[in-house]
Amino acid sequence: MMLDLVQVQGFVAVAEELHFGRAARRLNLTPSPLSRQVQALEHALGTPLLDRSSRSVRLTPAGQAFLGEARRLLDGARNAERVARQVARGEAGPVRLGYTAASALGVLPRLVAAIRSEMPGIDLVLEEMVTAEQVEALAARRLDLGLLRPLAPDLAPEVEGVRIAFACLARERLLLALPDDHPLCRRGHVSLRELDGQPFITWSPRGGTYFLGLLANIFRSAGVAPRAVQRVNQTHTMLALVREGIGLALVPESARALRTEGVVLLPLRPETDQRAELLLGWREGDNHPALARLRDLALTQQVLSDQQT
Amino acid sequence: MMLDLVQVQGFVAVAEELHFGRAARRLNLTPSPLSRQVQALEHALGTPLLDRSSRSVRLTPAGQAFLGEARRLLDGARNAERVARQVARGEAGPVRLGYTAASALGVLPRLVAAIRSEMPGIDLVLEEMVTAEQVEALAARRLDLGLLRPLAPDLAPEVEGVRIAFACLARERLLLALPDDHPLCRRGHVSLRELDGQPFITWSPRGGTYFLGLLANIFRSAGVAPRAVQRVNQTHTMLALVREGIGLALVPESARALRTEGVVLLPLRPETDQRAELLLGWREGDNHPALARLRDLALTQQVLSDQQT
DNA sequence: TTTCCTTACGCCTATCGTAAGCATA
DNA sequence: TATGCTTACGATAGGCGTAAGGAAA
A52 contact to strand C (CB, 7 A limit): yes
A31 contact to strand C (CB, 7 A limit): yes
B33 contact to strand C (CB, 7 A limit): yes
Q: How far is CA A150 from the centre of its chain?
A: 19
Give the Å distances, CA to CA, from B225 to B186, B202, B251: 22, 13, 17
User: For B93, which residue in chain A has the nearest alpha carbon?
Assistant: A65
**Residue–nucleotide distance: B23 CA to C22 C1' (Å):** 22
- Nearest alpha carbon to residue B77 among A237, A298, A6, A144: A6
How crowded is residue B121: how many other Cβ atoms within 10 Å of its Cβ? 13
- Nearest alpha carbon to residue B11 among B294, A98, B45: B45
The answer to whether residues A190 and A268 touch, using CB atoms and an 8 Å cutoff, is: yes
Q: Is some CB atom of chain B closer than 8 A to the CB atom of A288? A: yes
- Nearest alpha carbon to residue B291 among B301, B302, B280: B280
- DSSP H or E segment with residue B236: helix B235-243
Q: Which residues of A touch B9 (CB under 8 A)?
A: 2
How close B26 gets to chain A, by Cα (Å)? 14
- Nearest alpha carbon to residue A230 among A203, A250, A208, A210: A203
Contacts of A41 (CB under 8 A, 6+ apart): A3, A4, A7, A8, A10, A11, A49
Confidence of residue B302 (pLDDT cuts 50, 70, 90): low
The answer to whether residues B97 and B295 touch, using CB atoms and an 8 Å cutoff, is: no
Rounded Cα gap, residues B18 and B28, in angstroms: 16
The answer to whether residues A68 and A83 touch, using CB atoms and an 8 Å cutoff, is: no
**Residue–nucleotide distance: A230 CA to C15 C1' (Å):** 72
DSSP B64: H
The answer to whether residues A257 and A105 touch, using CB atoms and an 8 Å cutoff, is: yes
How close A27 gets to chain B, by Cα (Å)? 11
Q: Is the peptide bond before B157 cis (omega within 30 degrees of 0)?
A: no
**Residue–nucleotide distance: B78 CA to C8 C1' (Å):** 34
Higher pLDDT among residues A50 and B221, named by residue: A50
**Which residue type, as a one-letter code, is found at position A79?**
N
pLDDT value at residue A234: 84
Integer-rounded Cα radius of gyration of chain B: 32
Question: pLDDT tens per residue, chain A (309 residues)?
Answer: 899 999 999 999 999 999 999 999 999 999 999 999 999 999 999 999 999 987 899 999 999 999 999 999 999 999 999 999 999 999 999 999 999 988 888 889 999 999 999 999 999 999 999 998 999 999 888 999 999 999 876 666 677 778 899 999 989 999 999 998 888 877 777 888 888 889 999 998 877 788 888 899 999 988 898 999 999 988 889 999 999 999 999 999 999 989 899 999 999 888 888 899 999 999 988 878 899 999 999 988 765 544 443
Rounded Cα gap, residues A175 and A172, in angstroms: 9
Look at residue B200 and give its three-state secondary structure: strand
- Nearest alpha carbon to residue B123 among B293, B290, B281, B296: B290
Look at residue A99 and give its three-state secondary structure: strand
Q: Which of A27, A37, A47, A123 best tests the B interface by mutation, with the highest count of B CBs <10 A?
A: A47
A83/B69 CB distance under 8 A: yes
How close B210 gets to chain A, by Cα (Å)? 32
Confidence of residue B155 (pLDDT cuts 50, 70, 90): low
Residue B286 has pLDDT above 80, yes or no: yes
Q: Which residues of A touch B45 (CB under 8 A)?
A: 81, 84-85, 88
**Which residue type, as a one-letter code, is found at position A65?**
A
The answer to whether residues A198 and A292 touch, using CB atoms and an 8 Å cutoff, is: no
Instruction: Report the first-to-last Cα separation within chain A, whole angstroms.
Output: 64
Q: Is some CB atom of chain A closer than 8 A to the CB atom of B85? A: yes
Bases of chain D within 7 A of a CB of the protein: 3-8, 15-19, 22-25
Torsion of CA B10, B11, B15, B16, to 10 degrees: -30
Q: Is some CB atom of chain A closer than 8 A to the CB atom of B121? A: no
Give the Å distances, CA to CA, from A260 to A178, A254, A263, B68: 11, 12, 6, 46
Rounded Cα gap, residues A64 and A60, in angstroms: 6
Q: Is some CB atom of chain B closer than 8 A to the CB atom of A76? A: yes
**Residue–nucleotide distance: B13 CA to C21 C1' (Å):** 25
B288/A72 CB distance under 8 A: no
User: For B65, which residue in chain A has the nearest alpha carbon?
Assistant: A84
Of A63, A66, A77, the CB nearest to B73: A77
Higher pLDDT among residues B41 and B132, named by residue: B41
Rounded Cα gap, residues A20 and A32, in angstroms: 9
pLDDT value at residue A189: 76
Of A80, A87, A92, the CB nearest to B3: A80
B36 contact to strand D (CB, 7 A limit): yes
DSSP string, A246-283: S-BEEEEGGGGGG--TTEEEE-EES--S--EEEEEEEE
A6 contact to strand D (CB, 7 A limit): yes
Q: Is some CB atom of chain B closer than 8 A to the CB atom of A10? A: no
DSSP string, A190-229: EEGGGGTT-EEEEE-HHHHHHHHHHHHHHHHHHT--PEEE
The answer to whether residues B178 and B242 touch, using CB atoms and an 8 Å cutoff, is: yes
Rounded Cα gap, residues B234 and B100, in angstroms: 10
pLDDT in tens, B235-244: 889 999 999 9
Q: Is some CB atom of chain A closer than 8 A to the CB atom of B306? A: no
Q: Is some CB atom of chain B closer than 8 A to the CB atom of A49? A: yes
Strand-strand pairing, A190-191 and A268-269:
parallel
pLDDT value at residue A102: 85
Confidence of residue B306 (pLDDT cuts 50, 70, 90): very low
Higher pLDDT among residues B191 and B37, named by residue: B37
- Nearest alpha carbon to residue A4 among A53, A61, A56, A45: A45
**Residue–nucleotide distance: B54 CA to D1 C1' (Å):** 15
A45/B85 CB distance under 8 A: yes
pLDDT in tens, B66-89: 999 999 999 999 999 999 999 999
The answer to whether residues A147 and A295 touch, using CB atoms and an 8 Å cutoff, is: no
Rounded Cα gap, residues A132 and A306, in angstroms: 26
Over residues B249-270, mean pLDDT: 90
pLDDT value at residue B197: 87
pLDDT value at residue B154: 60
Strand-strand pairing, A276-283 and B227-232:
unpaired
Give the Å distances, CA to CA, from B295 to A297, B71, B100, B125, B139: 68, 40, 18, 16, 18
Contacts of A260 (CB under 8 A, 6+ apart): A236, A239, A240, A242, A243
Nearest amino-acid residue to D5, taking CA and C1': B54
Strand-strand pairing, A249-252 and A174-179:
antiparallel
Confidence of residue B187 (pLDDT cuts 50, 70, 90): confident
pLDDT value at residue B243: 94
Query: Nearest nucleotide, C1' to the C-alpha of B22?
Result: D4
Look at residue B5 and give its three-state secondary structure: helix
A76/B73 CB distance under 8 A: yes
Of B47, B76, B289, the CB nearest to A88: B47
How close A111 gets to chain B, by Cα (Å)? 21
